[in-house]
């Protein structure tokens, strides 16, 4: 609602976050086809600009992920219903980008292992989609999970203990850091393409163990880089063997999710302005940082639209 009063999606299923997001309308056939072409055009521009490869984001509740999930995709046409139809947008986008950029340009897809919502995109479906992606000769599959109603990528242990997901998290999963390592092992058992696993890695030994055990070919990390500016080099050299990632919590789960997002957004802001991270930013300050950022973007769009 802050950024777009008239969003579009697979269906008219809104995002339940304190009323901050407007209910979308279902995309028309011509809009879907134009979207696919736009992916190809964007990929061509990135290739021309000198990027070494690109990734198609099909996770975390963004648009392609919305088409994949039966919760947000209730269409009765060729883009909805069966898993094959729900995955059609992702596959058509991938084919268009591949045709545009050529066979030697590296392409990756970020895919949810699951939405972690009852009735959503499930692991067996994700495993099937991974097989289809391999048939398209995908260069790299990144595995993650969750969406903005189920922020598994912020706090895996507490989120998975909620009543919406009846599967318990194994102790070995929590102990071994990799949130999605067990699913990645299933993918690697049936697919030959390289697998990157993101989520939960905090120690050098945890990363090395996942690589040794064949759970992943590459490890993805993000938030540690926002805690320690020179994290990457020190971690690879073995000078830093672990990192603590703060957990920002408020009493209400939705408020807590927004505070967590605001905390990391604030760290990104500081780094962008050549400042060191500030681990002492509190949960309410983080919440209002995000609220102000989104309201500011919405106001800028309204002003630009009226000009």
**Mean pLDDT by groups of 10 residues along the chain of 307 residues:** 75 73 90 98 98 96 94 96 98 98 97 83 94 96 77 46 40 58 91 92 92 92 89 93 87 84 93 92 93 76 67
Instruction: Report the alpha-carbon distance of residue 298 to residue 84 in Å, rounded.
Output: 36
Cα–Cα distance for residue pair 292/265, rounded to 1 Å: 11
Label the pairing between strands 218-220 and 25-26: unpaired
Alpha-carbon span 250 to 18, nearest angstrom: 14
Cβ atoms of 195 and 184 closer than 8 Å: yes
198 forms beta bridges with: 220
* Rg of the chain taking only CA atoms, in angstroms: 20
Q: Could you tell me which residues come within 8 angstroms of residue 103 by beta carbon, excluding any fewer than 6 positions away?
A: 137
Structure tokens at 108: 């990756």
* Whole-number pLDDT of residue 297: 73
- Using CB atoms within 10 A of its CB, is residue 86 exposed (0-12), middle (13-18) or buried (19+)? buried
d(CA 47, CA 58): 20
Rounded Cα distance, 183 and 289, in Å: 35
């Amino acid at each position: 609602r802050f950024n777009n009063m008239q969003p579009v999606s697979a269906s008219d299923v809104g995002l339940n976050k304190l009323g901050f997001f407007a209910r979308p309308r279902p995309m028309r056939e011509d809009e879907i086809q134009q979207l696919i072409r736009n992916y190809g055009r964007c990929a061509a521009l990135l290739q021309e600009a000198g990027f070494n490869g690109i990734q198609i984001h099909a996770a975390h509740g963004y648009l392609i992920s919305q088409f994949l999930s039966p919760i947000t995709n209730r269409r009765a046409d060729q883009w909805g219903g069966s898993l094959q139809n729900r995955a059609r947008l992702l596959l058509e986008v991938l084919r268009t980008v591949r045709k545009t950029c050529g066979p030697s340009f590296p392409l990756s897809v970020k895919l949810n292992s699951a939405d972690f919502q009852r009735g959503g995109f499930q692991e067996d479906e994700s495993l099937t989609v991974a097989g289809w992606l391999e048939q398209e000769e995908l260069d790299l599959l990144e595995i993650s999970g969750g969406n903005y109603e189920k922020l598994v990528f912020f706090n895996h242990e507490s989120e998975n203990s909620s009543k919406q997901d009846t599967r318990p998290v194994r102790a070995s999963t929590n102990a071994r850091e990799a949130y999605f390592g067990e699913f990645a092992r299933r993918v690697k058992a049936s697919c030959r393409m390289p697998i990157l696993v993101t989520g939960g890695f905090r120690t050098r030994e945890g990363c090395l163990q996942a690589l040794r055990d064949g759970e992943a070919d590459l490890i993805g990390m993000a938030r540690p880089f926002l805690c320690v500016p020179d994290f990457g080099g020190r971690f690879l050299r073995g000078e830093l063997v672990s990192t603590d990632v703060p957990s920002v919590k408020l009493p209400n789960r939705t408020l807590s999710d927004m505070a967590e997002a605001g905390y990391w957004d604030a760290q990104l802001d500081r780094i962008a302005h050549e400042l060191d991270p500030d681990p002492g930013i509190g949960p309410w300050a983080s919440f209002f940082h995000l609220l102000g950022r989104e309201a500011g973007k919405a106001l800028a769009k309204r002003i630009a639209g009226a000009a």
